[in-house]
Amino acid sequence: ILKLLLATPGTDANASGHERTPLSYAARFGHEAIVKLLLAAPGIDVNAPNASGKTALTFAAKNGHGAVVKLLLAAPRIDVNAPDTDGWTPLTFAVNYGGEAVVELLLAAPGINVNAADTSGWMALTWAAFEGKEAIVQ
């Protein structure tokens, strides 16, 4: 069905409903096949934020969807450091919620800023230490 929708003239793959794009929804719920289709859609905006600044990469990282994170990291123009309105980056969300495997994927991403601070001045490392996540700190 998605292939047919994307092939229909006038379909906007970046349309936002309930403050999220189709790509953000698919990333949030770990729908790898849908993410692949959407990433191939002409004009897809991989960095489209919702009202609070969260992107598809943020949702995938926060929810621990490593396969989706990999797909998004391979997308041209992906902003690995896109902050939300609180200054949290995909790495910050991965440290707090997404798990070690997703943190490792993000740390290996070209251009990752491990020193990005949120609006409270905390970096991902600060959060990892505060939350007692020794494996991530190391």
pLDDT tens-digit profile of 22-36?
Answer: 899 999 999 999 999
Residue 42 binned pLDDT confidence (cut-offs 50, 70, 90): confident
Nearest in space to 106 (alpha carbons), one of 76, 77, 132, 70: 70
Radius of gyration of the chain (CA): 15
Q: Which of the residue ranges 6-15, 38-47, 94-103 would you say has the lowest mean pLDDT? A: 6-15
- CB count within 10 Å of CB 35 equals 27
Q: Which of the residue ranges 15-24, 38-47, 111-120 would you say has the lowest mean pLDDT? A: 15-24
Percent of the chain with pLDDT strictly greater than 70: 86
**What is the distance, to the nearest Å, from the Cα of residue 45 to the centroid of all Cα atoms in its chain?**
12
Are the beta carbons of 72 and 35 closer than 8 angstroms?
A: yes
Give, as one character, the DSSP assignment of residue 123. Answer: B
Q: Which of the residue ranges 14-18, 54-58, 110-114 would you say has the lowest mean pLDDT? A: 14-18
- Specify the pLDDT at position 43: 87
Are the beta carbons of 61 and 73 closer than 8 angstroms?
A: no
- Specify the pLDDT at position 20: 72
As a whole number of angstroms, the distance between CA 93 and CA 124 comes to: 8
- CB count within 10 Å of CB 108 equals 9
Instruction: Give 63-82 pLDDT, tens digit per residue.
Output: 999 999 999 999 999 999 99
Instruction: Give 86-132 pLDDT, tens digit per residue.
Output: 999 999 999 999 999 999 999 999 999 999 999 999 999 999 999 99
Give the type of residue at 123: M
- Specify the pLDDT at position 14: 62
Query: Any idea what the Cα angle at residue 58 is, between residues 23 and 43, rounded to 5°?
Result: 35
- Domains, the chain, in order of start with CATH, read 2-137 (1.25.40.20)
